[in-house]
Amino acid sequence: MIWDYYNGKTLFITGGTGFIGTALLCRLLSQSSPKRVYVLCRGGADKAKAKWSDMLPPSAAQILTDNERMTILDGELGNTATMSLPEETIQMLKWKVHIVIHIAASAQLQNSLRELAYNVLAPSICLTQYALKFPNLERYVYFSTAYANAHLWKSNESTDVSVDERVYPLGREEEDYYKIALEAWSAVQKTGSSDEYDAHDFPWPYAYAKHLAERLVLQKAAERNKMDKVLIIRPSVLGPADKFPYPGFATSHGAPSTICAAEFMLHPGRRIRLSTRCQNPEQESTIDEVPVDVVVDRTLVHVALRTSGCIHAVSGEQGRLSTEEWWRAFKKERQLPWNAKPSWVSDDWHSPDLHQMARRFKIIGTSFAFSQERTVKAVEKLGDGEKENLQLFADRSKPYSLHLRRHHIRHQAIEVAKKKKWPIFSASLLCRKGKPVACLDENVKA
Ligand SMILES: NC(=O)c1ccc[n+]([C@@H]2O[C@H](COP(=O)([O-])OP(=O)(O)OC[C@H]3O[C@@H](n4cnc5c(N)ncnc54)[C@H](OP(=O)(O)O)[C@@H]3O)[C@@H](O)[C@H]2O)c1
């Protein structure tokens, strides 16, 4: 059984108070009996418990707040391996931990590469180097993004770009891409950019930072002959849970398409200017939104099966949405009596003339077919009973809907209204009322 793998193991987890981290801890601690789970949290136990109590209903929060198997370490990732932890804690982790799951990142899509060098790359490299020295290390998991390869949209002419679960070198295939990664990292530290970054059109510096971080993590593993221990998880666009810890679980800022819905909800015009190269963008352009519990279960299954290399945690070709489907769901939520529709143009994805959501998310109007072959293969190794209780693929048996996230859309819309200095009641009027899904008792089966 997958869950048996975790029994008696000691884990160290970063990002445990975020969207993925919270869902992962709930799942792990409700299904298995690890010996101990150490969770790094800025602000320590009080802060972590306050965050979990805020985002989860009491029955689910309790799994985390009153768990005798969990120890919260008050520390912070930075550009040293110490994570602001006392030396004895650092030594204790080194000797005890079997599995490291590094989820944390304080990344914003609009961050510059210089900022990302400090808050994504340096902490990940330091943690990787430190963890790979653990004598009992069995698995090291690094969270990247499926859009680490989004530059392929620009280097490809297809209107549906296939992305495999592998590293796409930014130089020539035959070059030593680990060496190139080290050179690029050195350039990013010195100048805030690199030749390979300048040579490729990534939607955001964040995508390139994750691309580089993946290669540096693998380079450190190769140096120590530990490639077989490293797993890179690439989620696409996170969406609310299908099932665990309860249907609709999300954090208020965690799901990008909720943020889009809130912005479009307040759009006063009839047209929303978006960019695409597709002939029939409504049908051809797609959004790969993946329920957070699919990300969690894929991670925990691949760790237990000792998969190494890159894994896509995505909805994939079968589960992704066409823009038309997303728009249909959005229309049901919008309160303004007139319709707001996409107005498709062929501008570049960096064009300042696009709607601000298109300028921020860039991938609206594109289409990526992320392979999930390695999960399909992994499922073949699982027994029937085991498969049934895992959420490894997005459930698209019902039409896509935004109704379970009304509460978060409204919350986001109020934030948008505040930023625009609009009266807050405008946001309340323009968004449908919804209870937090966690309040709907039938949804919560902790
Ligand atoms: N959201 C998406 O759509 C998406 C898509 C693809 C990939 N990803 C990747 O998935 C990972 C998790 O995403 P998420 O949405 O779960 O993130 P999130 O909700 O924003 O949570 C981020 C977590 O990282 C922690 N953290 C940030 N900086 C830290 C630092 N310097 N030291 C210690 N902890 C720090 C935060 O702790 P605090 O509680 O202290 O703030 C929080 O627990 C990230 O690597 C992200 O890049 C996300």
Nearest alpha carbon to residue 26 among 52, 55, 81, 64: 64
Residue 108 is predicted with a pLDDT of 85
Give the gyration radius of the chain's Cα atoms: 21
Given a contact cutoff of 8 angstroms between Cβ atoms, the answer to whether 105 and 144 are in contact is no
Tokens of 305: 């099966």
**Is residue 357 situated within a structural domain?**
no
Residue 443 is predicted with a pLDDT of 52
Ligand 1 near 290 CB (within 6 A)? no
- Cα(145) to centroid(ligand 1), Å: 12
Number of domains, the chain: 1
Ligand 1 near 257 CB (within 6 A)? no
Ligand 1 near 127 CB (within 6 A)? no
- pTM here is 0.96
Nearest alpha carbon to residue 435 among 57, 11, 123, 19: 57
Residue 434 is predicted with a pLDDT of 78
Ligand 1 near 103 CB (within 6 A)? yes
Q: How far apart are CA 332 and CA 366, in angstroms?
A: 23
**Is residue 408 situated within a structural domain?**
no
Domain residues for the domain of 49 are 2-245+289-320+369-401
**Is residue 414 situated within a structural domain?**
no
DSSP labels, 12-25: EEESTTSHHHHHHH
- Cα(96) to centroid(ligand 1), Å: 25
Q: How far apart are CA 267 and CA 270, in angstroms?
A: 8
Which numbered atom of ligand 1 lies nearest the CA of 14? 34
Three-state secondary-structure class, residue 253: coil
Task: Tell me which of 22, 145, 163, 208 to substitute to probe ligand 1's pocket, judged by most ligand atoms within 8 Å of the beta carbon.
Answer: 145
In this structure, what CATH number is given to the domain that contains residue 301? Answer: 3.40.50.720
Ligand 1 near 34 CB (within 6 A)? no
Residue 106 is predicted with a pLDDT of 81
Residue 336 is predicted with a pLDDT of 84
**Is residue 352 situated within a structural domain?**
no
Residue 445 is predicted with a pLDDT of 47
> How many residues are recorded in the chain?
446
Residue 175 is predicted with a pLDDT of 73
**Is residue 39 situated within a structural domain?**
yes
- Cα(105) to centroid(ligand 1), Å: 4
**Is residue 425 situated within a structural domain?**
no
Tokens of 181: 């990664």
Nearest alpha carbon to residue 79 among 35, 41, 115: 115
* Residue that has been written with the tokens 């991938």 in this structure: 363
Strands (E), 61-180: 70-74, 99-102, 139-143, 161-163
Residue with CA closest to ligand 1 atom 21: 18
In terms of DSSP bridges, do strands 286-287 and 321-322 run parallel, antiparallel, or are they unpaired? Answer: antiparallel
Q: How far apart are CA 130 and CA 157, in angstroms?
A: 41
Residue with CA closest to ligand 1 atom 45: 105
Ligand 1 near 402 CB (within 6 A)? no
For residue 291, cis peptide bond before it (omega within 30 degrees of 0):
no
**Is residue 209 situated within a structural domain?**
yes
Q: Which residues have C-beta within 8 Å of that of residue 279, sequence separation ≥ 6?
A: 159
Ligand 1 near 19 CB (within 6 A)? yes
Nearest alpha carbon to residue 215 among 181, 256, 251, 240: 181
pLDDT per residue as tens digits for the range 326-383: 999 999 998 888 889 999 999 999 999 999 999 999 999 999 999 999 999 999 999 9
Q: How many other CB atoms are there within 10 angstroms of residue 198's CB atom?
A: 9
Q: How many other CB atoms are there within 10 angstroms of residue 36's CB atom?
A: 15
**Is residue 41 situated within a structural domain?**
yes
pLDDT per residue as tens digits for the range 384-419: 889 999 999 999 999 999 999 999 999 999 998 998
Which numbered atom of ligand 1 lies nearest the CA of 43? 40
Q: Which residues have C-beta within 8 Å of that of residue 304, sequence separation ≥ 6?
A: 2, 3, 5, 6
Tokens of 350: 């960096």
Tokens of 84: 């602001």
- pLDDT means over runs of 10, the chain (446 residues): 96 98 98 98 97 94 96 94 95 98 90 95 96 98 98 97 96 78 96 97 98 96 97 98 95 90 92 98 98 98 98 97 96 88 97 96 98 98 92 95 92 90 84 71 48
